[in-house]
Structures are given as C-alpha cells and as structure tokens.
Amino acid sequence: MTNSGQEHEIHYNLVEDDEFDIVNIVVEDVDGIHGAGAAPSVSVIEELDAPKSGLIYLRGFDEPLYPYSDQGPPFRQQRHFFYLSGADFPGCAVTYDIPRQELILWIRRNDPRLSLWYGTTPSIDESKSKSDVSDVRYIDGLTAYLHAVLTPETGGGGPLYVLSPDQLPKLSPSPPQYSFFKGLHGTGSRGLKIDTTSLLPAIEAARVIKTPHEISRIRRAVGLTSLAHRMVLQRIKHLTNEREAHAVFEGFCISQGAPHQSYAVIAASGPNASTLHYDANDEPLEGRQTMLLDAGCLNSQRVPGFQEPRRRMKREQVTPEDLAAMYREAMMDRDDVEQNVVGPPPYKGRQRLRENMVVTIEPGIYFHRPYIQSFFLSNPDHAKYINTKVLDKYWDIGGVRIEDCILVTKDGYENLTTAPKGKEALKIINAGIPGFGGDGQAGGGSS
C-alpha cells in the first residue's frame, strides 16, 4: 500500500469475540522486508567501539543432515547471521566493509540438479528485493573480494572480525594468486589482523536494543501467539489428549503463515507440568486438574470440568524475608549439585534496563516430586520448612508459569502479550467456539 510515496504494510488478524468477529488492522511503515542492513550494522559497529578499518565476516548455516541419511531437521538460520543479513536460506555469507559502510550478502548459485529435488533458493534480484543490504553477489566471488579488501597492497590489512576461530572464511582450495590467505587456519596470515573475540559480544550487545522493525515483528509474533492460545482455550473442553492441544496451537500458527516455533510446543497436563521442558505431549487429559501450554508466549490454563485445584497457599506466619532466606540457601545448594547457576545468589541483573529492550517476566512454581524429594525433603535443613501434608495436595497440579513479553519504553513499559489470563481465559473456555453453544455444540444441539 502506498500513500504520497510512503510505503506501508497492512497487518490484520481476525479476533473472535462472543458477539462479533473483529478485524484488527495495523498499518506500519516499511523499513525493509527483513530489516537487515543499515541499523543492525551501525549498532554492531558502535559496540565494537567504532573502528575505522576492517571487515566483518559471518557465515550462515548449511543444510544439516542426520548421520547416514540424506534427510535432516528443518533448516534454521544462524541467528547472528540472520540479524545482519535477513537471509533465511542455506549456503550464504555476509560481509560488512567498515570504512565503506558496505553490507554484502553472498549467496550460492542454484544447481539445476538440486533444484529438481529441493527447489531453488532466492536469486540475486530476489534477495535484493527482500533485504536492505548494499549488494548481493554469488559466493564463488568471495575469495577474490576478501583478497581485494584485506591485503595491505590494496589498503586493507584488517582486522578481519569473526565470531570465533572456527568461523574464519573457508577459502581452501584457493587460486595461487590468493596465497595471502593460506595462513588463515594456521599460525598466521602474513600480516592480516584477525579478531576472533570482539565480534560476538558486540553483536549480542547490539541485539539487546531492538530496532523499530524488530519491535514490529515481535508485536506480530506475540499477537499471533496470543491468538493461538485463544484457539486452544476455546476448544479445551473437547480435547482428550495433550497432543490435541499441541495440534490446535501449531496448526493455527501454520495456517497464519508462521510454520516454525521458537521451541518445541509444551502441552503438559497435571504432573507433567512440573517438568520445565516437557515435550512428549501424548498423555490423556482425563482426571487432570491443569494443563500448561508453553508455546511462544507462556501460558497456563485449567482443564475445565474437573475439581477446582488448590491455587492458594496459607501464609501461616511465613514472611517474605523467611522465603527469601530459604530461596538463597536453596540456590547455594544448587552449586553443590553442579547445576548451571548464572551468578552468586541472590542473582542480580548485570545491566540496567534501557529503552527498546524486550524482556520476559516469567513467574512460575513447580511441584516436581523427584527434585523436591531428592534435594529438599531429604535435607533436614530444608525439610523443616515444608509442610508435607499440604505439599501432597499439589503433586497432581504439577506446575504453573505465566510469561509476559515486556517492551521497555522511555517512561516505563508496554506489555506486548495479549494472551488471555485469569477470568478472561475462564470466560473464553466457558464460551467455547463463537457461533456455537457454551458446550461447543451448534445451536446448543447434541451430537
């Protein structure tokens, strides 16, 4: 859509309500289909302390294959490479010439023998139309390009910035005239400065602050995820197995043009919800008090029609200071059992919140029997704080967690997550699918 020369994107979602079907339309300025290019590159350079010379090099992923097979898992691009290039297909590289401020995407040529089986990857013209990079070229010209911009004779000499030593350009075999690069994977490279330590922290720091384009895409992803949660809520009364909730959620996302999940869908009912990364998703829902759906944005919802679970704990003279003391002691013990602790307890954030950060708020509580029995009930120092008679009532609940995606603003924050929670979620469950009776049957009939 254009208006007075300004290009816009129109995003819309059909939101099903008890009484109306609402079309939510959002008009946004286009800043490049992928948003890769100028803004991310400048951010990375700033985090590198604005060097005046050098070249950044990143290699994308190739197609992975399972051992002894011609098949592999679904392709997923290297995230830092995608941040700079926007290319979501295999066999690519990207370079950024710092003094020239030139970002080039390098793609491989299409092989007709492979395209017969797997289709074609985007051409140079197609890649240019879908990205904000300065230029797109075939990757078989990369060696000559690196020689031209990095050799001292041409005013180069580096440094060449790569994420790690194993990410250096694979230039062998190379023609004799490019013997300058023979030392890249050895002990030296005849005067070429190679930096394998600065780029990774710089690009990770740059990615913390989201560009307007990234925030736009996050809004769309969070909005779609929230609608998918709503789809599950509307149907939950008629689902009989965890895999059905998984199918409803992922199927809706696929139908809306989002075929990939950030991680495997977790549809955990009852005690299964106490396993943080549960992904079997294959147990019946009958008799379960709760189901935790962790997909995109985290959400936890009750399975209706069953006994009301115990959702409140009695305080009984326990103060917040008592709980904090117990938590600190428990976290100290985690070091003893060789858990991955990110810092000394109590953990303190290492950086201040800044405008346009996107963070998650993820409270959760879990009643994982093996873990609690092994590390708390068996330890007198911890067991004295636990009322086992009360605890026994919570094993079947498993666990609960709720996640909100928060955009940090200049004066506060904005909650991007619109997934239904609490009374709103219960209302959706009871209403069922719009246009049907509260029991999910058309016109209140039976089947």
- 226 residue type, one letter: S
Q: DSSP letters along 27-60, please?
A: EEE-S-SS--SHHHHHHHHHHTT--SS-EEEEE-
Q: 28-38: per-residue pLDDT in tens?
A: 444 444 555 55
Share the mean pLDDT of the chain. 77
Cα–Cα distance measured from residue 152 to residue 53, given in angstroms and rounded to the nearest whole number: 12
Per-domain residue ranges of the chain: 1-27+212-447, 38-208
Region 38-208: CATH code = 3.40.350.10
Phi-psi region of 188 (alpha: psi -120 to 50; beta: other; left: phi over 0): beta
Asked which of 57-66, 181-190, 300-309, 314-323 is least confident by mean pLDDT, the reply is 300-309
Residue 43 has pLDDT above 70, yes or no: yes
Number of residues written out for the chain: 447
Which DSSP symbol is given to 179? G
Cα–Cα distance measured from residue 433 to residue 288, given in angstroms and rounded to the nearest whole number: 22
| Closest-CA residue to 403 (of 248, 244, 225) | 225
| Closest-CA residue to 228 (of 415, 447, 382, 419) | 419
Q: Residue 137, Cβ neighbours under 10 Å: how many?
A: 16
Percent of the chain residues topping a pLDDT of 90: 43
Tell me, what's the pLDDT at 189? 53
**pTM assigned to the model:** 0.75
Q: DSSP letters along 353-400, please?
A: --TTBEEEE--EEE--HHHHIIIIIT-HHHHTT--HHHHTTTTTT-EE
Q: 395-443: per-residue pLDDT in tens?
A: 999 999 888 999 999 999 999 998 898 899 999 999 888 755 444 433 3
Topology classification of domain 1-27+212-447: Creatine Amidinohydrolase (3.90.230)
| Closest-CA residue to 219 (of 411, 358, 65, 387) | 358
Give the bridge partners for 55, in sequence order. 97, 160
In order of 249, 264, 345, the CA distances from 280 in angstroms are 15, 10, 33
| Closest-CA residue to 171 (of 151, 142, 198) | 142
Give the bridge partners for 408, in sequence order. 413
Tell me, what's the pLDDT at 64? 87
Question: What letters, b where the CB count within 10 A reaches 16 and e where it falls short, cover 389-408?
Answer: eeeeebebbbbbbbbbbbbb
Confidence of residue 332 (pLDDT cuts 50, 70, 90): very low
Cα–Cα distance measured from residue 217 to residue 28, given in angstroms and rounded to the nearest whole number: 11
| Closest-CA residue to 185 (of 164, 201, 170, 199) | 170
Confidence of residue 90 (pLDDT cuts 50, 70, 90): very high
Tell me, what's the pLDDT at 422? 87
Q: 99-142: per-residue pLDDT in tens?
A: 989 999 999 999 998 888 888 989 999 999 888 899 999 999 99
Confidence of residue 59 (pLDDT cuts 50, 70, 90): very high
Which DSSP symbol is given to 220? H
